[in-house]
Each structure stands twice: as C-alpha cells, then as structure tokens.
Structure 1
Amino acid sequence: MEKERTERLPHILVKGTATTGGYTRPKRKIDAPGSNIPQRNRQQHATRLISHLQQAKAREAAIIQEQRGFGLAVENGLHITFESESGFELIFESLNFRPSGIELCSVTQEGDKTTATVFVPEGKLEHFLKQVTTYRDHQPDPQAPDKTAKSRSQDLVESISAIKLTALKELWTDDSGLFPDDNSPITWEIWLRHSDKIDHEAFLREHAPKLGLTVGAEAIRFPDRTIVLAHGSREPLSRSITLLGSIAEVLRAKDTADFFTGMERTDQKAWIEEALKRVTPPAADAPSVCLLDTGLNEQHPLLRPVTDINDLHSYDRTNWGTDDRHGHGTAMAGLAVYGDLTNTLASPGPIELSHQLESVKITPNPGHHQEKKLYGAITRDGSHNPRRPG
C-alpha cells in the first residue's frame, strides 16, 4: 500500500524542463496610441491626401447614379480605403464618425502595413477633406504654443499614407493565402452592414441573381452585422461592393465536417490519399500521446504514420484485445494527431506531425463495466503499459 502511495510513474513525469529564478521587473516603455507615426512635411502630405480624396470625389456622382439605377434609393455612398505607411500605425479608430454616417467596416494587417476600409455616405467625403485642410492650415497660438502645437486631426492625418476607392481585396479579412487567384466561382462569407434605412440582407437577396451571385438561405444576425454565404466568382462580387454599398468585410466560406462525413467511401479514400502525400511523419525520438480509451485501429491510413503495433496495450489483452471495436478510441486518436481534420483535409499545405501515438484499452466499450469497478485502479494499471517517454 505504501509503495502505491509513493509511486510516481517516472515514464509519465517529464523532468528537467523547468528552472527557478528570482523575479525581475521588466524594463519597458509603454507606447501610447499615436506614438508611432511618421514625421511629415505638413504642406506636402496634406496636398497629396487632398488629391487622393478629390480623385474619389470625382468618381462619387457616377457611382451614386449607378447605385440608384440598380435600385438602391437610400444609403448611397462609397467604400474608401485608408493605408498606413509601412512600419507605422494607422489611427483607424478616428476614421469612424457616426454622426455623419461614416462607418469603419474592416481593418486588416498585411505585413507591416495596416489598411482600414470605411463606408462614406453620399456627400460626406467633405468630412475627411475638412480634417486634412484643418491639419494643413493649423498654426500654433504664439501665446500658448504648448496647448496648440498639434491640430485635433494631426495624429490621424499623419498616420495615413494613401486614400483610394476600395477594391474587393481591401475588404478581405481572411488569410491572404485564401484569396482566389482567378475568377473561378467559390463560396464567400459576406458580412453586411446594418442600417435603419434599408434591409441590406433583403436587398442583396433580391438583386443577387442580377450580379451572378447565389445567396444561401441561412443568415446570422448581430446588432451591427448580418452574415450570409454567397456563391459566385470574384468579378460580380467586386461589382457588388460598388452597387450595394452594404458589404463590410468578406471571407472565404469554410468547409465543415459534414462535407467529408457525408461523402461516399470512395471519395473519402481519395481525400485521405491526397492528404497523406502532404504528411511528414514524426521523428523517431518524438514524444508520444497515450490514449486510455476503447482501443485503437492502427491500420487506419491516417494513423499508420504515428503508430506501432508494439505500442498497443490493453488492461485485459486476452479477452479484449487491443483493437477498437467501438470506434471512440480511434476517433480520439485522429483528434490527438491532426486536430480538426476538416482544416487538415481542406487546406493544401504540408502536414507536419509532431508526436507518436500509444493506446491502452481500458474498456471494450463505454457500457461494458456493469459491475462495480475501481476505475482509478484500472487507469493506474493501464498507465504502466506504455513504453515510450511522454
């Protein structure tokens, strides 16, 4: 009894991985928002941004006319994109100005550059023109230079590198590698803005066929956003940004598990074989994950790279064997090795496995132990079987 109390299962405990040291307060500077903004020549910078805004303003009338011709009679406006300088922040919070209906739709980070997309209602580009001209014309008060050295809009204006009409790529908030390279149809996840003046979801559903888009029946609705799926190619979706004025951001619709579980066995086999071509097995000295479950079917194609028949154990090998006749242990093995298989199968990238598998069968099925058993003892005895270090 005393031996059992002091037993520490040395093959499970990982030793020598921690060090002890005294606490030292880190020395760091806490940067306030707006502290990482490039130095600008006030006149030159303002002139360039005003030029960008005027170029957008020159397109406004034609875009609004096109929207109205398409049937959008209210909530007309433009999507405008603001970019930061590489390596500097963008004060994007200041782009949102609800009193004028100006709405920050999305913010993305590509490398060391920040991009923000804003919906600007018809006639409201003047808001940004006024901010830039105020910045350009600001003169400190010689009587109180410390209080008036900066204009109210200075941090925002100086953080902006460029302003332009929004393209589809600027509304893309998903992994950049998932953005379609060609005009092949895909399923898009579209986040729509909310408005008290118009039901953007209903308008999209009504006019989607004209744009070459098929909108799914389901929707998720939040106070400020509605999410729908739409199938179509890149070109009509790009056009819809201009015509609808309702899109806040766009992602690629993700595959779900039922896409694979609902397949015929022959199709599942083809997907597995494709995934195995991208698998790099774990190193020979890689650690192992030990499953205490209903056993393991190690001949499953996705489990072969990480299992060895010598690593399959059982609490009652004579009567139960080591194989999985219930299915739960094998399913948990797949989860332990690959995580969510939906992403693994659907993504084209390499699959690098980091650990081996071991299995201890502690029950042939979840309802097997009808008689009272000391399950802690079964688990403890099962833990003695694995031979690999954890």
Structure 2
Amino acid sequence: MPYEHLRVIRDEPVNRRKKPRFPGFPKPADTRQHGRALQASLARVVAATEEPEPGFDERRLLRINVVEGFRPEDLEAIPGLTVVSQEGRDVALLFSSEAALALVDQRLSTLARDGTVTRGDLLLAIRGFDSWRAEDRMGTALVQLGLSEPHESIVDVELWPLDSSRERVAMLVAFEAFLTLQRMPILDRLNQPSLLMFKLRVSAQQLTALLNYRDVRLVDLPAQFGFGIDVFQVDVNELPAVQPVPEGAPGICVLDTGLAAAHPLLGPAVGDTANFVERGEATVDTDGHGTRVAGLALYGSITECMRDGFQPTLRLFAGKVFGNDGRDQTRFVEKAVDEAVRYFHETYRCKVFCLAYGDRNKIYDGRHIRGLAYTLDRLSRDLDVLFVVPTGNLLDHDLPDDALEDYPGYLMQAAYRLLDPATAVNAITVGGLAEFEQDHDAQRYPERLETSPLARRNQPSPFTRVGPSIAGAIKPEFVAYGGNMAHHHLRRRRTTQRLGVISTSSRFAEGRLFDDAPGTSFAAPQVANLAATVLRYLPHASANTIRAVLGAHSRMPGEADTLLGENDAAKLALCGYGRIDSRHLFESADGAVTLLGEDAIATDHHHFYELLLPDDFWHGRRRTREVSVALAYCPDVKTTRIGYRAVKLSFNMVEADNLEQVTGWFNSNRVEAARKLQEASTRVTVTATARSKGTLQCATWTFKASGTRRLFIVVTRKDEIWYLHPEVPEPYALAVTFRDLENLEANLYVQVRQRVQQREQARIRARG
C-alpha cells in the first residue's frame, strides 16, 4: 500500500563544531638555506620578466608555489600582494607591486641571515616563486588541436574574474583597448561574478599576443558539443493513444537543439518552446537530438511506454540553446542557457532542466571549473533549480583498438574524464549503462557468432566518461541506460546499431515515430524525468530535496558491482551512487519508508537527528535490512579558489546509547572515533571521506544481525576562509530510507509514523 513520505525531525541541542587545532605546516630543516633558495628563486623571476606583461596596471603576475593546505589569502598580510587565484592545491597567483617585491626580498635576506623574520610562517610555507607563462594560459583543446585556421579562428578567452569592481572595470576597459589595437573582433562577452569571458576571432600571431597578456587566465577553442555516436531508425506503424496531461502537472524543461513540437507523442504535453540562439530561427529541431532528449525527459522509458501505453504526466517545455551546426560559435552557450533558464523559471516556474550535452573541447583536467558548469552552479543556487547533465561520450576513435579485451579498464584513463558542464557540483551528472547486448547483425543472424558486446546489461556503457569533479567530488552521481557497443570480429570494427536508447524522432513526418541513438545524452533525461516526477508528489520540494530523495533511492547495479569487484574508486568514477530505484521513490510502503527534512545550519555547527526505527526493524531472524541517507545542499562557488565550494556540509551516521553520547563525541572533537564505530561495524557503500567531497552525499548501510540499535545522523558545516557570508545559515535537505528486504510481513510505516507524531507532540509540549 502506498503512503506519503514522512518527516525526519531534528533533535536538540544545536551545537557548535569544535575546530581541531591546526598543527602548522612542516618547517624546512635549514631555515637559512630555505631563505637563500627563495631569494634566488625570486631573483630569477624578476630577471626573466624585466618587462612586465601588458595589463590594466603595472603590477606583475607572480606564481607562488606553497605547501598544500596553505591559504593564499594569508599572503595579503604583506602590503602590495593581492591574491588573484588559486590554480591548484599548491599554486597561488598574486598581483605584486615593485614595493611588495622589495619587501619580500628584504625579509628573505633577513631569513637567510638570521633564520627567523617577521611573519616567517608565511615565508616558510612558500616553496618557490615563478611566473605565469603563455603555456599556462593554453586550454587543453588548444594544446591538442591548435587553431583550425591560422589566419582566422574563433577562441574563447577567460580573464581573471577579479573581486574588486573597480579593478574589474579597469581591466575590461584596458583589455578591450588592447583588442582594438590588435584588431581582434569581439564576437561575444560574458560577465558573471566568478566568470569573465570574451569570444574572439584571431590569427596565430594575435593568439601569441593574447597568451602573453597578463590579465588572460585561459585561451581555448570554442565549444564543440558531442551528441551521440550513431543513429538507427526504428519503424513503428501504429500510433499508441496519447492520454492528456493531468491538470497542475509539473513542468520539465529541455535545453537543447529545439523540438519537433508537432510529434504526436510530444505535442499534447508541450507547454511552450523558445529560441535563445539569436539567429532569427524557429525552435524547430533540425538536428533531431533535442526531440530524442525530450521524449525521454517526458516519458522516462520509451520502451516501457511502447508496451504499456503513453501517459504523459509532465508538462514539456523546450529552449533552443544550441544549433549543433557550428554557426553558433559566435555566441556563448552560457548566455543562451542563462536566458532560457530565467525565462522558463520566471514564466512557468520550471524547476527541473535537462541540458543533455557536453563540450568535447573541455575535458576536465583537474583545474578550475569551466564556464558552463560554473553557470549551472550559480543558477542552481540563485533560482533553486535543478540541472541534469550527462558525463559526455567517448567517440569511436577515442577507444583503444583492444577495447573489447580491455573493457572497462580503459575507461579510467585521464583523457576520458568528464566534459563541461558535467563537473558542475550543484547539478546532477548522469553516466551511461548498457541496456541491450545484441546489435543489428546479431539479431538478423542469431546463428552466427560474428559480434560481441563490449558491455553486458547494466554494466557501464563503453563510451561513458568518468569522474571525479573538482576536489574529488563524486561524479557522476547516477547512471541510467545510455547504450552499448559491439565488436564485429570479421569486419574488425565497432558498431552501435540497435544498441542505443529508443526515443522520439524528429523525422516523424516520414513515418518514423522513433529512433535509436547511443550516448549519455540519453541517460540524463531519464533521470530528469524522475526528478520532475518527484514534484507530482512533493509539489513544493526544493531542488535540494529532489536531489536528496533521488540519492536515498540509488543503488549500485549488481552487474556493475560484480564487474568492478573491490575497485571502489572505479565504481564511484563510473557509476557514482548507482541507478535510481523508482519502486518506492515517490511514495513509501509498509516495508520501505522514506523520511524527508529541510533545515539551515550555521557555520561551525552540528545538527543531530535520531532515526526513529521501530523494534520490528531490528528483531527477528537474521536477514538483510538497509538504511540509506542522502544529504544535499547548494553552496555558493568561486572559480579562483581550489576550495570551489564556499560552504562544506557533511554527515555521519553513528550508533550510540543516547543523544548525549553523540553530542559528547562531536563536541569534544572525537568525530573519527564515532565514525569508525558505525562504519566499521556494518557494510557501508560510500565512506564519509569519499562522499563529503560533493554537494550530494549518499550512503547505504546493510545490517544482517538481529538486535536493537539506536542510530543518529550528525550534519556538520564548515566554511572556506574566502566566504564573505558565514553568518547566513546554509539550507540543506536530508532524506533517509530504510527497507526490510527479506521480511514480506514488515509493517514499518505505521510504527514509524506513530513515533514521528509522538516526537512532534513532545516537542510542542516542551516549548510550552
């Protein structure tokens, strides 16, 4: 019997987090020698850059290599040093005046002579000085591919997004004057709080000038979006009856190549379409990708609907933000996405957006988050919306010749990392799973053994890209069906025919209502469909709550678990938290109960929750029981700090005798002891260290032995030093599910509901 999900209730008190004492950075064995080495390093940099690079003022851009964990803001204690960015865990970039360089040199002389100096802790944490060179400003695609045309190519130029509004304006004025002098046409501009970009047309000679301009952070090739690998058409002769969309149905918005809105399976659900490419075009989908994505976003699984009938329960919206023909290179897709999201959110209150493509020219290299991902992170927080994006695809020529034998090992290569915007920490990223194993030839000639699938059903798609994102954040969070590949032994080539995902076709007027295509682009809308469907049951849910409830119902597919064995890093990089189980996603049942809660936590505080599990959950014969916890939040972000997230929330689940024991552990900084007590005593799917690196954190604990336990969840917040608003409570959502997997007579829901009601009544009485 289905029931509405219950509330999870926070316990009192709310306690401040006791900060651990900082042990300090390791000191060099010989401080005098360290001072001499640093002084020589600084002298080499100054000598090599006697003529400072052009910029909006006279300061030098100085690269300072520091010990890992050092806060670059501390260097601003030296007058004349201004932090520009942190480009790695041990690299800080600063603007430095000549007076500041002289002061640093003077202090290094003192350190070299005496072994001590004023603010010597700063100098001892520095490993060396260097300059920021032209090669440091080259993006991955530019390094690998070079300019497409030596005399006239389009490039994306990222400037340092300075915090000072006065300096930012001065930098923009100076840079545009530089472009005019160099005769580089400006095609588009993008100005966001932590992202400042220009799209330019340049020659090889002009590119050299750009790469030696001090205020340029990065130059790279423009977006090249990857939509799929191959397409196979499926004929359908009879049109299933389409039921009308229910009144008040939540919306789902697809941002893609447009939409064939007259498709007989999509048309009845379409609310609005709009074009944001600015070419005077209609919103029609000439590519076909947007229509395929829309069918999956609306229905979830076309193959199931072909069997059970088409019943749209969502209202479909579509924004054309990319034309997929190369002509839109003159405009930033970030701007089109920003405009589209604001339009559909403000006009129709859309909360779930599917952006099903990835930029092949922006493979994540472990450095800062790039333009589109940052745009999604910022919009997610500003508007309380949820984006669902794919990991991106490998093309056939990316795969090794021995892919059949080397699968899935080859997927873990650094070159196969995520594509922008899959790195966005506040969005949901989806990887691919194989659904079908027989390709076109294997189905036509079943007696022959000419082809072999690279992956088996529910194993990672052979072309799915891998995480993690910045600072090790788990990406993708989820997986869904994205397609498969097969190796043809006689022809010595790979094929995807009849191994992709079936969806609606833009060529329906030719009699083809459906087509088939492989790619993680078609995995993402399946998850977006589930996210939007949550709003049918929880119409006022925040984006955090949607993410949390999806996470609490995710499980690693058994086939993928077996394939990857004990390689936990590969499991997280390929599958994240797994595939979403929709059986009890929207409503609880007698033996599967979900509790949801939202709150906001102050900096350096703990929140405590006791899980009100009934005795029946623990007692009885030895059997498998699961408790899953998911935490979701949407922090402010900054591209110029390695600590990209302004706020870091985390949770631990611990077993204790009472609430006082739990608060004692966390208030006396014995968190590790409490964490090990719970995570060592049962099988946990994702450790606290691994999950805490992302903004969606999920874990499942498995219990088999009988015996009553008291379980508590502890949510903790700490902030980055650069965050300007630590006084603002950070909102978060919590979802907890527990399931009795082997007791068919379980009747947990009524007992839990009764306990929740008793706790609420007791709290009301206590408040008097």
TM-score normalised per structure 2: 0.30
Q: How does 1:1-390 map to 2 (within 5 A)?
A: 10-13=1-4, 30-32=20-22, 35-61=24-50, 63-64=51-52, 67=54, 75-85=57-67, 88-96=68-76, 99-100=79-80, 102-109=81-88, 113-122=89-98, 124-138=100-114, 151-167=117-133, 181-184=144-147, 185-191=154-160, 199-208=170-179, 211=182, 213-216=184-187, 218=189, 220=191, 227-231=196-200, 239-240=209-210, 242-243=212-213, 245-247=214-216, 249-250=217-218, 257=255, 261=275, 262=277, 265=284, 267-270=286-289, 300-301=295-296, 306=301, 308-309=304-305, 322-323=311-312, 327=316, 339-341=354-356, 344=389, 347-348=392-393, 349=418, 350-351=431-432, 352-353=479-480, 357=530, 388-390=583-585
**1:116: Cα distance to partner?**
0.6
**1:59: Cα distance to partner?**
2.0
Aligned residues of 2:65 and 2:90 also touching (Cα < 8 A): yes
Aligned residues of 2:64 and 2:93 also touching (Cα < 8 A): yes
Query: Aligned with 2:34: secondary structure?
Result: helix
**1:153: Cα distance to partner?**
2.7
Query: Aligned with 1:108: secondary structure?
Result: strand
Aligned residues of 2:32 and 2:114 also touching (Cα < 8 A): no
> 2:66 is matched by which residue type in structure 1?
S
**1:199: Cα distance to partner?**
3.2
Tell me which moved more, 155-164 or 186-195: 186-195
> 1:300 is matched by which residue type in structure 2?
G
Cα deviation, 1:218-263, whole Å, max 9, x if unaligned, reads: 46487xx9934233679856643644x334x448788995876547
Structure 2 vs 1, CA of residues 98 and 210 (structure 1 numbering), >3 Å: closer, same or farther?
farther
Q: Distance in 2 between matches of 1:271 and 1:180?
A: 31
Aligned residues of 2:41 and 2:128 also touching (Cα < 8 A): yes
Aligned residues of 2:66 and 2:126 also touching (Cα < 8 A): yes
Q: Distance in 2 between matches of 1:359 and 1:20?
A: 27
Aligned residues of 1:107 and 1:116 also touching (Cα < 8 A): yes
The Cα RMSD (Å) is 5.4
Q: Distance in 1 between matches of 2:10 and 2:313?
A: 44
Structure number with larger C-alpha Rg: 1
Aligned residues of 1:117 and 1:170 also touching (Cα < 8 A): no
Structure 2 vs 1, CA of residues 179 and 250 (structure 1 numbering), >3 Å: closer, same or farther?
same
Cα deviation, 1:96-155, whole Å, max 9, x if unaligned, reads: 36853x32111133xxx321101223564223212322322336xxxxxxxxxx532321
Structure 2 vs 1, CA of residues 259 and 310 (structure 1 numbering), >3 Å: closer, same or farther?
closer
Q: Distance in 2 between matches of 1:171 and 1:94?
A: 25
Higher helix share: 1
Tell me which moved more, 263-272 or 130-139: 263-272
> 2:288 is matched by which residue type in structure 1?
K
Q: Distance in 2 between matches of 1:84 and 1:27?
A: 28
Partner of 2:448: none
Tell me which moved more, 180-189 or 158-167: 180-189
> 2:63 is matched by which residue type in structure 1?
T
Query: Aligned with 1:82: secondary structure?
Result: strand
The number of aligned residues is: 291
Q: Distance in 1 between matches of 2:257 and 2:180?
A: 25
Cα deviation, 1:242-294, whole Å, max 9, x if unaligned, reads: 44x334x4487889958765477455424777xx8xxxxxxxxxxxxxxxxxx
Query: Aligned with 1:48: secondary structure?
Result: helix
Cα deviation, 1:175-226, whole Å, max 9, x if unaligned, reads: x97886443443233236566799332221122255574435646487xx99
**1:47: Cα distance to partner?**
2.1
**1:163: Cα distance to partner?**
1.3
Q: Distance in 1 between matches of 2:120 and 2:133?
A: 27
**1:42: Cα distance to partner?**
0.9
Higher strand share: 2
Aligned residues of 1:97 and 1:103 also touching (Cα < 8 A): no
Query: Aligned with 1:300: secondary structure?
Result: helix
Structure 2 vs 1, CA of residues 268 and 236 (structure 1 numbering), >3 Å: closer, same or farther?
same
Partner of 2:454: none
Structure 2 vs 1, CA of residues 201 and 346 (structure 1 numbering), >3 Å: closer, same or farther?
farther
Query: Aligned with 1:322: secondary structure?
Result: coil
Q: Distance in 1 between matches of 2:93 and 2:40?
A: 18
Cα deviation, 1:68-105, whole Å, max 9, x if unaligned, reads: xxxx7x822321111123xx3224223336853x3211
Query: Aligned with 2:65: secondary structure?
Result: strand
Q: Distance in 2 between matches of 1:77 and 1:11?
A: 66
Partner of 1:142: none
Q: Distance in 1 between matches of 2:291 and 2:205?
A: 33
Query: Aligned with 2:49: secondary structure?
Result: helix
Q: Distance in 1 between matches of 2:74 and 2:26?
A: 14
> 2:584 is matched by which residue type in structure 1?
P
- For structure 2, which runs of at least 5 residues remain unmatched after alignment? 148-153, 226-253, 259-274, 319-343, 359-388, 394-417, 419-430, 433-478, 481-525, 537-581, 586-768
**1:158: Cα distance to partner?**
1.5
Q: Distance in 2 between matches of 1:228 and 1:336?
A: 27
Aligned residues of 2:42 and 2:128 also touching (Cα < 8 A): no
- For structure 1, which runs of at least 5 residues remain unmatched after alignment? 1-9, 140-149, 277-298, 314-320, 363-386
Structure 2 vs 1, CA of residues 303 and 327 (structure 1 numbering), >3 Å: closer, same or farther?
closer
